[in-house]
Amino acid sequence: MINLVIDDKKIQAEEGATILQAAKNNGIEIPTLCYHDELTASGACRLCSVEIQKGKRTRIVTSCIYQIEEGLVVNTRSERVLNVRRLVLQLLMARCPGAEIVREIAEKEGVEPQTRFHPDEDKGKCILCRKCVEVCEQVVGVSAIGFSYRGAEKMVGPPFMESSQTCIGCGACAYVCPTGHITMEERGDERIIWDRHFKMAKCTVCGKKFAPEDQLKYISETTGVSYDTLTTCVDCR
């Protein structure tokens, strides 16, 4: 176990844990946006920044990636940290005025929008947290969507922003998207996501439309389990 101090509180945590994990396990809250337990931390949003002190130097690091060390002193609400947090929230509110979750966190942190930033109209609600791309690559394994371009023009979506043939319609990306930018619609016996219509498979037992046929086909191909076995919904198994 490693001994460290977070916000003047002495805590212990397992070796290999990040500051964020150590804080969470000890009831200390640090705001996050791009962090997800099941996905590799990217350090993209910078909201979880904290100020650490090792010896004489202090520096700002992202708690989602920085691994704890013996004797580390962490401050989650120093002036520099709050400054970064305010800037990040103000920038994201200007980029995605419609992203509710950002406004909620901002309100909680006492951060007002910066009126000098002209709000964007073409970014939708995408804050580029990267979770959708990561889940599609790391958990689902098809990489149907990805990033394109760079800088402020960076976008998320299928290649050429055209409906993707690799997408299996599983909806994992919509599920992890914190702002609701990725929309998934169920209409009749179809699911519509990323401009593609997926025919929903019906459970052979209860008849509920529970998953796209393409998703079940993909699972069958990759696991070797027969398609017919898969067409029984979780409730009926």
Partner 1 sequence: MKIKSTEEFKALQTQISNSRDPEKPCITVCAGTGCIAYGADKLVDKFKSEIEEAGLQEKVDIRSTGCHGFCEQGPVVVIHPKKIFYRRVGLDDAAEIIQKTVLNGEVLDRLLYADPISGEKITYEDDVPFYKKQMRLVFGMNGNIDPTSLDDYLAIGGYGALAKALDGMKPEAVIEEVKKANLRGRGGGGFPAGWKWDSTRNAEGTPKYVICNADEGDPGAYMDRSLLEGNPHSVLEGMIIGAYAIGSNQGYIYVRNEYPLAVKNVSIAIEKGRDLGLLGDNILGSGFSFDITIIRGGGAFVCGESSALFASIEGRVGEPRAKYIHGTDKGLYDKPTNLNNVETWANVPLIINKGADWYQSIGTENSKGTKIFSLVGKINNTGLVEIPMGMTLREVIEDIGGGILKGRKFKAVQTGGPSGGCIPEEFLDMKIDFDELTEIGSMMGSGGMIVMDDRTCMVDVARYFLKFLEGESCGKCVPCREGVRRMREILDDICEGRGREGDVELLESMSQGVIDGALCALGSTASNPVMSTIKYFRDEYDAHIRDKKCPAGVCKELIRYTIDAEKCTGCRACARVCPAECISGEKKQPHVIDQEKCVKCGSCLDTCKFDAVLVE
Partner 2 sequence: MSRGGLGMNEANSVEKIEIEVKNIVEKYNSNKSFLVPILQDVQSKLNYLPKEALDALSFHLSIPVSRIYEVATFYKAFSLEPRGRHQLSLCMGTACYVRGAALIESNIERVLGIKAGETTADLEFSFETVNCLGACALGPILVVDGEYHGQMNVSKTNKLFKKLGKDVETDED
| Residues of the shown chain interacting with partner 2 in the complex, contacts defined by CB under 8 A | 137, 142-150, 158-160, 164, 166
Spacing of C-alpha 75 from chain mean position = 24
Among 73, 91, 142, 192, binds partner 1 (CB under 8 A): 91
Residue 84 makes contact with partner 1 by CB under 8 A: yes
Longest Cα separation, the chain: 66
Nearer to partner 2, 7 or 137 (CB): 137
Q: Given the structure tokens 């970064």, which residue do they identify? A: 84
Amino acid sitting at position 54 = K
Q: Which helix (H) or strand (E) holds 173?
A: helix 172-176
Tell me the backbone φ, ψ of residue 75, rounded to 5 degrees. Answer: -120, 115
Structure tokens at 73: 């002193």
| Partner that binds at residue 44, options partner 1, partner 2, none, CB closer than 5 to 8 Å by kind | partner 1
| Partner that binds at residue 236, options partner 1, partner 2, none, CB closer than 5 to 8 Å by kind | none
Nearer to partner 2, 16 or 151 (CB): 151
CB 42 within 8 A of CB 137: no
- Shortest approach of partner 1 to residue 94 CB, angstroms? 7
Question: Considering only 87-95, 179-187, 188-196, 209-217, which stretch makes contact with partner 1 by CB under 8 A?
Answer: 87-95
Q: Given the structure tokens 């958990």, which residue do they identify? A: 139
For the chain, state the CA radius of gyration.
Answer: 21
Within 112-141, which residues bind partner 1 (CB under 8 A)? 114, 116-118, 127-128, 130
Alpha-carbon distance 184 to 138, whole Å?
20
In the complex, the residues that contact partner 1 under the rule CB under 8 A are 42-47, 49, 60-62, 65-67, 80, 83-84, 86-88, 91-92, 94-95, 114, 116-118, 127-128, 130, 147, 149-154
